[in-house]
Amino acid sequence: MCRDLVRIHNLKFLCLLEAKVLASYADDVWFLNTHKVFDNEEHCHNFGCSPLGRIWIKWDPSFVSFSPTFLSSQLIHGIISMGSLPPFQISVIYAANSFEERASLWNKIRDLIPSSPTPWMVMGDLNCYRFHNEKAGGNVLASGRLQELNGTIFDCGLHELASVGLFYTWHNQRSDQPIHIKLDRVLVNSYFLDHFPLAHYKVTPPLCSDHSPLITNFSSSNRLPTRFLFKNYWTFMDGFWDDVLNSFLQPPVKGPICHLHQCLQNLKGALRRREWASSNHLSNLTLELKNKQHICLEHIQNRPLDSSLNAALKEINSNLAGLQASWSSRVSQRAKAKWLSHGEDDLGFMYAKIRARRNHNNLSEIADTHGTHSNPQDIASAFIRHFKNLFNIYPLSH
């Protein structure tokens, strides 16, 4: 099964969980050679930490370099390097069945949070789930128990990586009282999404296991396109209404809908060329005004009744208040979150959520009557083909 997965998905790195391999086999040359999945294979395991091998990691050294830095009965943690791609940390988990044993695992995961801006991936069988809808059948877990995993994710600043394929990853293999649960998942930090914005994983059908394999796919070669988002504060900037008038004064050469679309496209281009359309402009202008305010206040300490100085200070404060209002408007609009709309300017958390939302909103794979499509061009063609068939049902009459 492992060799088939490697061949079908062109894998270079494989994490095998619940291997049930005796520790004595780890030094058996014949056993290791007959259980290779790569021609020139390197591997590491935690067989010495567990009576039955729980985690066995294999990789192709001609494509991947892996350096383990921590091993336990529930975890192997290390650093992956792959050619020109940026190295990242990975934590491969096979969590214990009991709540008490898993507590030490979550504490260790918190200790492994990268101290520097390093991409980090946490993946494997976590043996617990986040939400009630991730379990079908069996006893309902108390809401407080969901905090076990959710609290760890929050403390570590992790996000769910986008996924395609099956939803549930484990089945109890019973027909009379079936239970399906999402026990396996891939989590990443915001730095990982910075480098691999299109990364996702696919939950494939299980072959000879009660768990579904997770196939992780990521690339740093394609960046997500920058979305145009209209900022409300632009309406107060010099030249905004001139751009609006110039864009909509163009004579129509097509139908009304096409003309409106063209006018909006012209306006978008004009706004993007404006210096004040960038958030950096607001930041730089605010910093410049604060410096002027500081200099003006120093002069006033010596000449407090100077009318020109006081008039200059009043103008600076007025402009500074306007810029800060524009910045607050931008942050609240960008965040789309209630807690930020009340004034909390937590930009780090805000942009982390934006990156995670972009990762989930990206179409990684779709399926239609012509098969499964993962290439962006193939996905676009599938949509065009679908709507052509949907709206061009009847032949045109001449």
Q: How far apart are CA 357 and CA 355, in angstroms?
A: 5
Which pLDDT score is estimated for 350?
67
Domain ranges within the chain, ordered by starting residue: 2-217
Please state, in angstroms and rounded to a whole number, the distance separating the CA atoms of residues 26 and 29. Answer: 8
Mean pLDDT across the stretch 351-377?
82
Sheet holding 55-59, edge to edge: 13-17, 55-59, 42-45
Q: Which of the pair, 28 or 136, is modelled with greater confidence?
A: 136
Q: What pLDDT, on the 0 to 100 scale, is given for residue 343?
A: 46
**86-99: average pLDDT:** 93
Mean pLDDT for the chain?
86
- What's the pLDDT score for residue 347? 60
pLDDT at 355 over 80: no
Check whether 222 has a pLDDT greater than 70.
no
pLDDT at 393: 61
**For residue 373, which of 153, 164, 156 has the smallest C-alpha distance?**
164
More confident residue, 201 or 47: 201
For 120-135, the pLDDT digits (tens) are 999 999 999 999 999 9
Average pLDDT value for residue range 360-386? 86
d(CA 284, CA 333): 20
The pLDDT assigned to 235 comes to 87
- 3-state helix, strand, coil split of the chain in percent (to 5) is 45, 20, 35
The model's pLDDT over 139-188, given as tens digits with 9 standing for 90+, comes to 888 888 899 999 999 999 999 999 999 999 999 988 899 999 999 999 99
Distances (CA, A) of 34 to 27, 61, 300: 13, 18, 84
Name the strand (E) or helix (H) holding 379.
helix 376-391
Q: What mean pLDDT do residues 78-91 have?
A: 91
pLDDT of 326 above 50:
yes
pLDDT tens sequence across 186-196 = 999 999 988 88
The pLDDT confidence band at residue 341, using thresholds 50, 70 and 90, is very low
pLDDT confidence band for 226 (50 / 70 / 90): low
More confident residue, 95 or 223: 95
For CA atoms 222, 227, 233, 236, the dihedral sign is: positive
Per-residue pLDDT at 315: 92
- Of the given ranges (69-73, 160-164, 272-276), which has the lowest mean pLDDT? 272-276
φ/ψ region of 128 (left if φ > 0, alpha if ψ in -120 to 50, else beta) reads: beta
So what's the pLDDT on residue 396? Answer: 53
CATH number of 2-217: 3.60.10.10
**Confidence at residue 397, expressed as pLDDT on a 0 to 100 scale:** 53
Q: What is the pLDDT of residues 302-323, one digit of tens each?
A: 898 989 999 999 999 998 888 8
pTM above 0.85, yes or no: no
pLDDT score for 342 = 46
Q: Is the pLDDT of residue 382 over 50?
A: yes
SS3 71: strand
Mean pLDDT of 242-255: 86
Q: From residue 137, how far is each of 98, 276, 278, 317 by CA, in Å?
A: 20, 55, 51, 63
Tokens of 315: 């103008």
Residue 32 sits at φ, ψ, to 5 deg, of: -65, -40
What is the model's pLDDT at position 149?
94
The whole-number average pLDDT for the span 204-212 is 87
Q: Which pLDDT does position 60 carry in this prediction? A: 93
* pLDDT beyond 50 at 221: no
Residue 116: pLDDT band with limits 50, 70, 90:
confident
Most confident of 13-22, 29-38, 64-73: 64-73
Q: Max CA-CA distance within the chain?
A: 93
